[in-house]
């Protein structure tokens, strides 16, 4: 059995509800007020079986201009439209508006039913048919069948049933792919059962026992039972009209406009990027104007942001951002309609391109490029530009899929290409986070700068702790990116990672060398030490630095003539060392030679200093060692 859903459309009193009754035997005007006033206020639902194994659900919509919003709710999700035009009146305002809405909602096909033919002459019928044909020229119903009927006499109803069967044969059932999605169009309570919601299932399969989340409210419930066209079923499938009995939810806790989805997968949004078509019959739509957005069974006041112009003229199309007062659950590709407040007319509509874009600067070329790509059909370009827009924050692969509407398989293919070409970098596995190569390099750069600045500020350290460096990532970036960035820096030989410490590799001491303050401190410590200065090890302890970095500082001080290397671990300030030399040469001039213990007495140095100093004077050719004594070396 093939399941399809058709919707009625057309001006009030043109005979839509009567037609549905003539076709199905079901009176869809159930409300007391509807009976009393003879008009449709709420959506009505009926169904019939057509030859060829088709079960056709019919959504009967109100034609009154005050209830266009209800019509929009009913027209969402239909497979084709029956445009009802009374033969005695012809095309009227809501005939036009409903046809516009169907076009904007992307209803793909339909047929036209000329009703009340019992009220007109044969000749008049010919004229009206011609008028209707002319009116439809250029629209998606241009070559649709026009079927004359009378619901009163039953004339033409069989022919209509045949036309419906033929149309249905040419239409494919919806693929029940993806998670289920049921925009609620009615809520009521059934004595003994509790809350029941109905709707046209847009995608997936909903089963008895399923957990559901109601969005945007976020309430959860469980499916206690399902009916499809009045019959109990274990499941409802995309394209069917279903009634779902919900457990754990009062009837006032869910309303029309909300959507049932599996829990935890989706979120409602207040900002959407869209492709916006303005109706040729509408008026100028200004940047920042407030309209009403209708999509599925939901609606919200919305502000229109035009990123690349001030004004959308009738008949033009443009990228736009809609800022919604109420959060709605929207998906890429969802059709929508925009209506003005006063007069309450339909001004345009289009398709959702990105259900969760950031707010951005207007006139951003990048943004327009992204929206345009999302409007196209190149999954790779969509993904690439979404990742580019995420800049240093990166974007999860699943989010790129959600925002672009690119399905799982094409998404994988696109990612595979982009990653293997190196245009994108995966920085995290779970969730799978993506950055562009440029953003990744920028983060690497920022870490290197942070590392260097740290070493300038802490000149006696030779590296930065990992945790400390991680904290240097920009706030927009996820600290969890750190691992991938550091690994890449190490792989490229830009840093050395030693256990918990990250060190620069090349020109290791450039920032350290630049630091005058540290060297001043070292030079001062040596001067203060006089003839018994702190050793390198002691200096390192005192200044909380590594010996390695101190040796770098000392090497510079030696070059600058501010320190003298006496042994590998001992440096002197020049003045006290020169004083020692002077005293020694004076002594040797008078005495000729000196023993180590003699030098100890002369200088007052302890053994620890005395030997290296004596050896230093030997190597600098002040003295010459002869056996156990030193003599002046004569140049």
Ligand X SMILES: Nc1nc2c(ncn2[C@@H]2O[C@H](COP(=O)(O)OP(=O)(O)O)[C@@H](O)[C@H]2O)c(=O)[nH]1
Which residue has the closest beta carbon to ligand X? 15
How far apart are alpha carbons 165 and 523 in whole angstroms?
Answer: 99
Answer yes or no whether residue 16 interacts with Mg ion by CB under 5 A: yes
Residue 13: which of Mg ion, ligand X, none does it interact with, CB under 5 to 8 A by kind?
ligand X
Residue 231's DSSP bridge partners are 228
Contacts of 168 (CB under 8 A, 6+ apart): 2, 4, 50, 52, 54, 56
Q: How many CB atoms lie within 10 A of CB 58?
A: 26
State the Cα–Cα distance between residues 455 and 510, nearest whole angstrom: 10
Least spacing, CB of residue 41 vs ligand X, in Å: 10
**Nearer Cβ to ligand X, position 45 or 454?**
45
Query: In the complex with Mg ion, which residue's Cβ is closer, 71 or 373?
Result: 71
Least Cα distance to 110 among 147, 80, 152 occurs for 80
Which listed range, 37-45, 169-177, 458-466, 568-576, lies at the site for Mg ion (CB under 5 A)? 37-45
- Which range in 144-152, 166-174, 494-502, 565-573 contacts ligand X by CB under 6 A? 144-152
Q: Find the part of the chain contacting ligand X (CB under 6 A) among 8-16, 186-194, 205-213, 584-592.
A: 8-16
Nearer of residues 118 and 547 to ligand X, judged by Cβ: 118
When the beta carbons of 86 and 141 are compared against Mg ion, the nearer one is: 86
Q: Which of 9, 13, 100, 102 binds ligand X (CB under 6 A)?
A: 13
Residue 30 CB, shortest distance to ligand X, in Å, is: 13
Q: Given the complex with ligand X, which of 111 and 298 has the nearer CB atom? A: 111
Report the 10 Å Cβ neighbour count for 43: 24
Distance CA 185, CA 172 (A): 24
Among 4, 17, 81, 228, binds Mg ion (CB under 5 A): 17
Q: What is d(CA 460, CA 470) in angstroms, rounded to the nearest whole number?
A: 20
Q: Which of 70, 95, 151, 259 binds ligand X (CB under 6 A)?
A: 151
Which range of residues in 9-17, 165-173, 402-410, 478-486 is near ligand X by CB under 6 A? Answer: 9-17
Closer CB to ligand X, 118 or 468, in the complex:
118
**Total residues at the site for Mg ion (CB under 5 A)?**
3
CB of 31 to ligand X, least distance (A): 13
CA atoms of 376 and 568, how far apart (whole Å): 70
Site stretch for ligand X (CB under 6 A), options 145-153, 317-325, 376-384, 567-575: 145-153
List the one residue out of 161, 249, 241, 149 whose CA is nearest residue 199: 241
The nearest distance, CB 157 to ligand X, in angstroms, is 10
Does 40 help bind Mg ion (rule: CB under 5 A)? yes
Q: Which of 12, 396, 490, 555 is the binder for ligand X (CB under 6 A)?
A: 12
User: Of the ranges 110-118, 180-188, 442-450, 499-507, which one interacts with ligand X (CB under 6 A)?
Assistant: 110-118
- Among residues 24, 150, 198, 535, which is the contact residue for ligand X, using CB under 6 A? 150
The answer to whether 563 and 529 are in contact (CB under 8 A) is no
Cα-only R_g, the chain: 41
Half-sphere exposure of 591 (CA within 13 A, CB side): 15
Of 3, 9, 15, 536, the residue at the interface with ligand X (CB under 6 A) is 15
Residue 129 near residue 122, CB atoms below 8 Å: no
In 138-177, which positions are buried (b, 16+ CB within 10 angstroms) versus exposed (e)? eebbeebbbbbbbbeeeebbeebbebbbebbeebebbebe
The 10 Å Cβ neighbour count of residue 68 is 23
Which of the choices ligand X, Mg ion, none does residue 152 contact, using the CB cut-off of 5 to 8 A by kind?
Answer: ligand X
Spatial CA neighbour of 216 closest among 354, 328, 352: 328
Interaction site with Mg ion (CB under 5 A): 16-17, 40
Interaction site with ligand X (CB under 6 A): 12-18, 38-40, 63, 115-116, 118-119, 150-152
């Amino acid at each position: 059995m093939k399941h399809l859903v058709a919707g009625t459309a057309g001006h009030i009193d043109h005979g839509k509800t009567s037609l549905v009754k003539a076709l199905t035997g079901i009176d869809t005007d159930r409300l007391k007020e509807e009976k009393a006033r003879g008009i449709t206020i709420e959506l009505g639902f009926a169904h019939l079986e057509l030859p060829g194994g088709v079960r056709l659900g019919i959504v009967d919509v109100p034609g009154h201009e005050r209830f266009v919003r209800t019509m929009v709710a009913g027209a969402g999700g239909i497979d084709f439209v029956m445009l009802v035009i009374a033969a005695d009146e012809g095309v009227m305002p809501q005939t036009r508006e409903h046809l516009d809405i169907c076009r904007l909602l992307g209803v793909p096909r339909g047929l036209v039913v000329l009703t009340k033919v019992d009220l007109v002459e044969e000749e008049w019928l010919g004229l009206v048919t011609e008028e209707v044909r002319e009116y439809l020229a250029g629209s998606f119903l241009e070559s649709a069948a026009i079927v004359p009927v009378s619901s009163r006499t039953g004339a033409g109803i069989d022919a209509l049933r045949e036309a419906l069967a033929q149309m249905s044969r040419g239409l494919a059932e919806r693929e029940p792919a993806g998670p289920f999605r049921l925009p609620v169009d009615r809520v009521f309570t059934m004595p003994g059962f509790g809350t029941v919601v109905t709707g046209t299932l847009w995608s997936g399969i909903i089963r008895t026992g399923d957990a559901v989340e109601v969005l945007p409210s976020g309430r959860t419930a469980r499916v206690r039972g399902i009916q499809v066209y009045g019959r109990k079923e274990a499941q409802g499938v995309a394209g069917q009209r279903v009634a779902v009995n919900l457990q754990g939810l009062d009837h006032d806790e869910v309303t029309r406009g909300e959507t049932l989805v599996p829990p935890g997968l989706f979120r409602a949004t207040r900002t959407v990027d869209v492709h916006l078509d303005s109706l040729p019959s509408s008026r100028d739509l200004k940047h920042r104007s407030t309209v009403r957005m209708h999509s599925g069974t939901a609606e919200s006041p919305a502000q229109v942001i035009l990123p690349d112009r001030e004004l959308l003229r009738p008949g033009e199309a443009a990228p736009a951002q809609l800022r919604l007062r109420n959060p709605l659950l929207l998906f890429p590709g969802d059709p929508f309609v925009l209506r003005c407040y006063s007069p309450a007319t339909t001004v345009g509509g289009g398709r959702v391109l990105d259900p969760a874009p950031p707010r951005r600067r207007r006139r951003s070329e990048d943004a327009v490029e992204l929206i345009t790509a999302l409007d196209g059909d190149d999954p790779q370009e969509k993904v690439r530009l979404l990742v580019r827009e995420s800049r240093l924050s990166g974007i999860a692969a699943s989010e790129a899929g959600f925002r672009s509407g690119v399905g799982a398989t094409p998404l994988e293919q696109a990612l595979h290409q982009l990653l293997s070409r190196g245009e994108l970098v995966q920085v995290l596995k779970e969730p799978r986070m993506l950055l562009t190569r440029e953003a990744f390099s920028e983060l690497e750069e920022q870490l290197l700068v942070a590392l260097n600045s740290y070493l300038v500020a802490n000149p006696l350290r030779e590296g930065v702790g990992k945790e400390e460096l991680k904290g240097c990532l920009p706030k927009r970036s996820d600290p969890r990116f750190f691992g991938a960035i550091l690994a890449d820096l190490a792989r490229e030989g830009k840093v050395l990672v030693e256990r918990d410490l990250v060190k620069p590799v090349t020109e290791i001491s450039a920032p350290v060398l630049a630091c005058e303050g540290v060297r001043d401190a070292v030079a001062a410590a040596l001067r203060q030490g006089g003839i018994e200065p702190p050793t390198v090890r002691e200096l390192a302890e005192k200044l909380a630095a590594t010996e390695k970095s101190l040796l770098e500082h000392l090497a510079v001080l030696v070059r600058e003539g501010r320190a003298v290397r006496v042994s590998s671990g001992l440096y002197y300030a020049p003045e006290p060392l020169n004083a020692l030399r002077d005293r020694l040469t004076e002594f040797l001039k008078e005495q000729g030679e000196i023993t180590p213990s003699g030098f100890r007495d002369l200088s007052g140095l302890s053994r620890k200093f005395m030997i290296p100093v004596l050896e230093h004077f030997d190597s600098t050719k002040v003295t010459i060692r002869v056996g156990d004594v030193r003599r002046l070396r004569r140049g």
